[in-house]
Amino acid sequence: MANISDNNGLKNLIAQYGTDGAKASLKKSEHKGSVKDPAAADAHDVKDPKKDPTKGLADKNVFLKLYIQQLKNQDPTAPQDTNDMVAQMSQFSSLEKLSGISDQLKNMTTALTSNQAIGASSLVGKSLLMPGNKLSVSDSQHSIELKTDIPKDSSSAELKIFDANNKLVRTQKLTENDVSWDRKDDKGKELPPGEYHFAASSVNEKGQVAAMPIQLPARIQGVTINGKDGTMLNVENHGKIKLTNKLEILG
């Protein structure tokens, strides 16, 4: 069996499907003179890689056609070296394994996407803490979880809550960043559902007053899976928010 690089029919195939280096090497040898082989006509049965860019020596189907062409044009007086045969079969085996790995990765990607969709869909209806100072309270909400950031030099801090008419209905002393409002006014009376405004401030030892940021619960209305920006949460009054591990989602 003749070596693949010594066969004129195979040279024709390499000229069509080989790497740039192989083609350049083939052109040099042709300038020195080569004998035409009728078997070269079989090479035209293979699709032109220019018309089908997915084909090439890396394609297992083209590899097989090259190998079969080599068998058809074997030279009984010059059998192929055993090492060459083993090397070719090893390349084909490696190609098969790589193709299998590619398929497995595609299956893993599909599975991960499915799991991501299931996990993200479970967030619909829940709330996450978002920066803001205004909140619409429903009749089913008996307590409101919110968060602020008390400065380290603060000697005292408080939260003030106003109704839709901008009337102060509750003043609550703060000692921690996590705050829970029981939806009651300063007299202990439960307030009706509606829109409320929140303002937090702190006072340091010098008597200086500073406003503090507030995070209020916002309802997750839907999710978008595998968009160009990844998994996005459609949050009430905030639009689309990218899902990250920095978000604080409430139960």
> What's the pLDDT score for residue 230?
72
Instruction: Name the pLDDT band for 103 (thresholds 50, 70, 90).
Output: confident
| Whole-number pLDDT of residue 54 | 42
State the residue for tokens 């030892």: 205
**What is d(CA 195, CA 220) in angstroms, rounded to the nearest whole number?**
18
Of 149, 192, 140, 144, residue with least CA distance to 167: 192
- Of the pLDDT bands very low, low, confident and very high (cuts 50, 70, 90), residue 209 is very high
- Report DSSP letters for 201-217, one per residue: EEEETT--EEEE-EEEE
Predicted confidence (pLDDT) at residue 10 exceeds the cutoff of 90: no
What is the pLDDT, as a whole number, of residue 227?
58
Assess whether pLDDT exceeds 80 at residue 176. Answer: yes
Maximum CA extent, the chain: 108
Confidence of residue 6 (pLDDT cuts 50, 70, 90): very low
Domain made up of 129-217: CATH architecture:
Sandwich (2.60)
Burial class of residue 198 (count of CB atoms within 10 Å of its CB; 0-12, 13-18, 19+): buried
Q: How far apart are CA 251 and CA 123, in angstroms?
A: 9
> In the chain, what are the domain boundaries?
4-100, 120-126+219-250, 129-217
pLDDT at 177: 94
Residue 97: pLDDT band (50, 70, 90) is confident
